[in-house]
Amino acid sequence: MLNKENSRVIAHKAICLVALEKQALSDALFPAESTESPFAKSLVYGSIRFYHHLNDIITPRIKRPLEKKNLDIHSLLVLGAYQLLYTDISSHAAINETVEVAEKIGKTWAKGFVNAILRGIDRDKDPILKIAHHSHPSWLVKKIKKDYPLNYQEIFYENNKKAPMSIRVHPSVDINTFQEKLNTQNIFSEKSNIAPQALILDDAVKVSSLPDFEKGSCYIQDVSAQLAALLVSPKKGELILDACCAPGGKTTHIAELCPDANIVALDNDETRLLRVKENINRLKTKNIQIVVGDATSQDWWDQKLFDKILIDAPCTGTGVIRRHPDIKLLRKPKDVSQITKIQALILDNLWHLLKPGGDLIYATCSILPDENERQIISFLERFKDATNEEISLSWGNGSIGKQQLPKKIYDGFYYAKLTKKL
């Protein structure tokens, strides 16, 4: 069992990897089901979530800039400041235990420096917390304010909250019975009026706590993401493409809804496709063919037109920042234009693989109009055989597709439904 001292060392290492080495705060870096304590994980996610606020507090207090080799001390200050400002950990414990991390990482010289900075922050805690801070990078603040002048405050607020844990119950499992089983384990949840297989948990739990998880009873998936398969609406005998499919959440959902459909799961990342295979095996899905290939080319295609295509497009991930706070540190302004170009290439390429009369569902976990509504408007201008179909869901807003902003039980997602004229 890890103690809290060791947890802070682990947390500091993870913060350094994200902030200094620009590694993603993914399961590979910080596994969800690892021996690391929940305390360590909470420190990492919290420090990264509020990194920009904490950085703006810390930086003016450092009189002489730290050398490059000592930037890990800046990350240590972030860890300490997070505990002081955003947790109920006592100031004494937060400061002293964080100072001790300096010694554990071989930076004994920094103990006094870290102590002085953190004590200064602690003294100024009340006035610091009275000043509102979005805790987003300045370029993203500017962009979101421009795109959402009426509700940008709500977006920043929701992005800085923890996302709820939501599950998709397998159609073969009665959702009411499953919910009752959860209740007996003191795992409480609510149903969704949008996604019929969804349960939103009051509190996050380890997947091992979920009844029959290893036997395929359920899948961890946000409510917004569960709408993709519903919009595809698979039918018996249809040939359906799920492009950019990894890790397979939407793919397996389509397969669950219609075991008699034929699904091609396409992705260009063989490593990520291993996750798809794992999910297929756990959920015991039989009607999915995995294909390694690039959605911007047709090298992998066997010349059979698809009845339906789902494009789970690569995007900035700005709709799931609350789940992946490292997006704030890893994304750059240039990424938006680069990603939109790739999205357009995928759309243009895969449209030719769709049967006349067939449907293409375009999905992103982004809130940026450049990647969403504007992308689809541009596509409709290029392809006159495409028509925009209204999405009749009490979810999201928009006439060209539907945009949901991050809010309570929903991640920020965009969907558009396009039909190919006969």
Span 148-159, average pLDDT: 97
In the chain, where the domains are located: 4-130, 166-220, 230-420
> What are residue 105's phi and psi, to 5 degrees?
-100, 10
The residue assigned the tokens 């008699």 is 260
Structure tokens at 333: 């302004």
Radius of gyration over alpha carbons of the chain, in Å? 23
Whether 365 is a known active-site residue: answer yes
Span 166-192, average pLDDT: 97
pLDDT of residue 29: 66
Span 362-366, average pLDDT: 98
pLDDT of residue 174: 97
pLDDT of residue 94: 97
DSSP letter at 407 equals B
User: Taking the C-alpha atoms of 85, 321, 251 and 274 in order, what is their torsion angle to the nearest 10 degrees?
Assistant: -70
What CATH class does 4-130 carry? Answer: mainly alpha
Asked if 33 contacts 206 with a C-beta cutoff of 8 angstroms, the reply is yes
Percent of the chain surpassing pLDDT 90: 94
Average pLDDT, the chain: 95
pLDDT of residue 23: 92
Q: What Å distances lie between residue 292 and 48, 62, 246, 271, 341, CA to CA? A: 34, 50, 11, 10, 21
Taking the alpha carbons of 198, 311, 382, 332 in that order, is the dihedral positive or negative? positive
Evaluate if residue 1 carries a pLDDT over 60.
Answer: no
The residue assigned the tokens 């961890």 is 220
Query: Confidence band (pLDDT; 50, 70, 90) for 4?
Result: low
Evaluate if residue 3 carries a pLDDT over 90.
Answer: no
Evaluate if residue 26 carries a pLDDT over 90.
Answer: no
Evaluate if residue 401 carries a pLDDT over 50.
Answer: yes
Query: Confidence band (pLDDT; 50, 70, 90) for 84?
Result: very high
Vertex 277 angle, CA 271 and 279, to 5° = 115
Q: Cis check for the bond before 247: say yes or no (omega within 30 of 0).
A: yes
Query: Confidence band (pLDDT; 50, 70, 90) for 131?
Result: very high
Domains 166-220 and 230-420 share a fold: no
pLDDT of residue 381: 98
> Which of 229, 220, 217 lies closest to 173, judged by CA?
217
Q: Which CATH superfamily is domain 230-420 in?
A: Vaccinia Virus protein VP39 (3.40.50.150)
The catalytic residue among 16, 245, 258, 365 is: 365
Over residues 221-250, the pLDDT tens digits come to 999 999 999 999 999 999 999 999 999 999
Structure tokens at 51: 């990194």
Query: Confidence band (pLDDT; 50, 70, 90) for 25?
Result: confident
> Which of 264, 205, 198 lies closest to 226, judged by CA?
198
Specify the pTM.
0.95
Q: Which residues contact 405 (CB under 8 A, 6 or more apart)?
A: 148, 151, 154, 155, 158, 319, 367, 412
What's the fold here for domain 166-220? Alpha-Beta Plaits (3.30.70)
Q: Which residues contact 324 (CB under 8 A, 6 or more apart)?
A: 24, 25, 317
Counting Cα atoms < 13 Å in the Cβ hemisphere of 319 gives 27
User: Taking the C-alpha atoms of 251, 358, 293 and 342 in order, what is their torsion angle to the nearest 10 degrees?
Assistant: -100
> What are residue 220's phi and psi, to 5 degrees?
-80, 115
Evaluate if residue 58 carries a pLDDT over 90.
Answer: yes
pLDDT of residue 5: 61
> Which of 171, 268, 169 lies closest to 219, judged by CA?
169
pLDDT of residue 167: 97
- Say if strands 166-169 and 218-220 run parallel, antiparallel, or are unpaired: antiparallel
**What are the residues facing 311 on neighbouring strands?**
243, 362
Helix, coil or strand: residue 167: strand
Asked if 331 contacts 363 with a C-beta cutoff of 8 angstroms, the reply is no
Helix, coil or strand: residue 415: strand
d(CA 35, CA 233): 40
Helix, coil or strand: residue 312: strand
Vertex 219 angle, CA 215 and 221, to 5° = 175
| DSSP assignments along 237-277, one per residue | T-EEEEES-TT-HHHHHHHHH-TTSEEEEEES-HHHHHHHH
Asked if 239 contacts 306 with a C-beta cutoff of 8 angstroms, the reply is yes
